[in-house]
Amino acid sequence: MRVLLAVYLAVAQSVGGAMAFAPPPNIAEVFTAQLAAQLMEGENASWSALQRRDRGAWLALLPNDYSHVNGEGALTNREGAFHMLADPAIEEYTTHYLRGTLVSADVFVLTYSIARRLDGTVHSSAALFTSCSIWAKRNGTWLRIRYQETPVMQAAR
Measured between alpha carbons, how far is 68 from 75 in angstroms, rounded to an integer?
6
CATH of the domain at 113: 3.10.450.50
Looking at the domain assignment, is residue 49 inside a domain? yes
Helix, strand, coil: what percent of the chain each, to 5?
40, 40, 25
Domain that holds residue 38: 26-151
SS3 154: coil
pTM for the model stands at 0.73
For every residue of 6-75, DSSP letters joined together read: HHHHHHHHHHHHHHHHSPPP-HHHHHHHHHHHHHHHHHHHHHHHHHHT-HHHHHTTS-TT-EEE-TT--E
Looking at the domain assignment, is residue 15 inside a domain? no
Q: What angle do CA 114, 60, 107 make, to 5 degrees?
A: 65
7 by Cβ neighbours in 10 Å (0-12 / 13-18 / 19+) ranks as: exposed
Span 89-138, pLDDT tens digits: 777 888 888 888 888 889 999 998 888 877 764 334 556 788 899 999 99
Does residue 12 register a pLDDT over 50? no
pLDDT of residue 128: 77
Total domains, the chain? 1
